[in-house]
Amino acid sequence: MKEEVNFNNNPLAVEPVSKLIRSFAIPSIVSMLVGSLYNIVDQFFIGQKVGELGNAATNIAFPLSTSCIAIALLFGIGGASTFNIHMGKQREDMAEYFMGNAAITAFICGIVLSFIAEIFLVPMLTFFGASSSILPLACEYTRITAIGFPMLILTTTGGHLIRADGRPRISMLCNLVGAIVNTILDALFVFVLGFGMAGAAIATVIGQCVSCLFVIYYLAHTKSVNLGLKHFRMQTRYIFPTISLGVAPFINQLAMMLVQIVLNNSLKYYGAISIYGAETAIAVVGIATKVNQVYLSFVIGMSQGMQPIASFNYGARKYDRVIEVYKKTIRVSFIISCIAWILFFFFPREIISIFGKGTSETYYIFAVRYFKIYLFFTMLNFLQLTSSNFFTAIGKAKIGGFLSLTRQIIFLLPLLLILPLFFKIDGIMFAGPVADLVAAIVSGVFAFREIKRLTRM
Q: What is the pLDDT of residue 358?
A: 66
**388 vs 249: CA distance, rounded Å:** 8
Residue 440 near residue 380, CB atoms below 8 Å: yes
CA angle (332 as vertex; 23, 168 as ends), nearest 5: 20
- Closest to 305 in 3D by CA, of 163, 170, 174: 163
**172 vs 160: CA distance, rounded Å:** 10
- Closest to 442 in 3D by CA, of 407, 397, 398: 407
- Closest to 404 in 3D by CA, of 453, 361, 431, 443: 443
Q: What is the pLDDT of residue 4?
A: 42
Q: Is 90 exceeded by the pLDDT of residue 238?
A: no
In this structure, what DSSP letter does residue 230 have? G
Q: What is the pLDDT of residue 195?
A: 87
Neighbours of 180 (CB within 10 A): 15
The tens digit of pLDDT for each residue in 195-234 reads: 888 998 999 999 999 999 999 998 888 777 777 778 778 7
Low-confidence winner among 144-158, 202-216, 391-405, 434-448 (lowest mean pLDDT) = 391-405
Q: What is the pLDDT of residue 312?
A: 84
Q: What is the pLDDT of residue 318?
A: 86
The tens digit of pLDDT for each residue in 388-403 reads: 889 988 888 789 878 9
> Residue type for 29, please?
I
Mean pLDDT, residues 412-434 taken together: 94
Q: What is the pLDDT of residue 359?
A: 65
Higher pLDDT, 152 or 51: 152
**451 vs 447: CA distance, rounded Å:** 6
Residue 373 near residue 219, CB atoms below 8 Å: no
The tens digit of pLDDT for each residue in 251-269 reads: 878 878 888 899 999 999 9
**43 vs 57: CA distance, rounded Å:** 10
The tens digit of pLDDT for each residue in 260-296 reads: 899 999 999 999 999 998 888 998 998 898 899 889 9
Q: Is 80 exceeded by the pLDDT of residue 9?
A: no
Residue 304 near residue 325, CB atoms below 8 Å: no
Q: What is the pLDDT of residue 93?
A: 75
Give DSSP secondary structure letters for 386-450.
HHHHHHHHTT-HHHHHHHHHIIIIIIIHHHHHHHHHHHTHHHHHHHHHHHHHHHHHHHHHHHHHH
> Residue type for 244, please?
S
Q: What is the pLDDT of residue 376?
A: 95
Q: What is the pLDDT of residue 150?
A: 96
- Rg of the chain in Å (alpha carbons): 21
